Amino acid sequence: MVCYGIRNCRMRRQVRRDRGGCVGVTERTVQIEILVADCPEDAPEVEANSRVDVAVNGQMYPTARLDDGRYVAWWFEAAAPAPDDSITTEWVAAPTRYLAAATLSELWEDPAAFDSLVSANC
């Protein structure tokens, strides 16, 4: 399997006091990986019975927990083949189910973005 385009996303979160006043803003970097199979046997290892479909903008995306604790999304609709099916060749791995599904959603909606991430990391 080839790991293309690792997106380092900065996430900002406001920390508030009890009475609603903002104390400060924290930032952290989150890695999102785009995985593409070289051959059908390259599917990522997922935990058994960990599939949960996640809604992003009214569309359902299948997700599953990876053996390393991250989550993977792999198809553009809930009626999806298994993540290790030979027809499945692209996955997005992220720390949360929603982040994996939302990133996959963005890439399906904008194939040029996917192509630019893949070509930039070849």
pLDDT, tens only, 2-14: 555 455 554 445 4
Provide φ and ψ at 41, rounded to 5°. Answer: -80, 0
Q: How many domains does the chain have?
A: 1
Domain, as residue range, for 99: 2-120
pLDDT in tens, 81-116: 888 888 888 899 999 999 999 999 988 888 888 778
Q: Taking a C-beta distance cutoff of 8 angstroms, is the pair 75, 69 a contact?
A: no
Predicted TM-score (pTM) of the model is 0.75
Structure tokens at 78: 């809930």
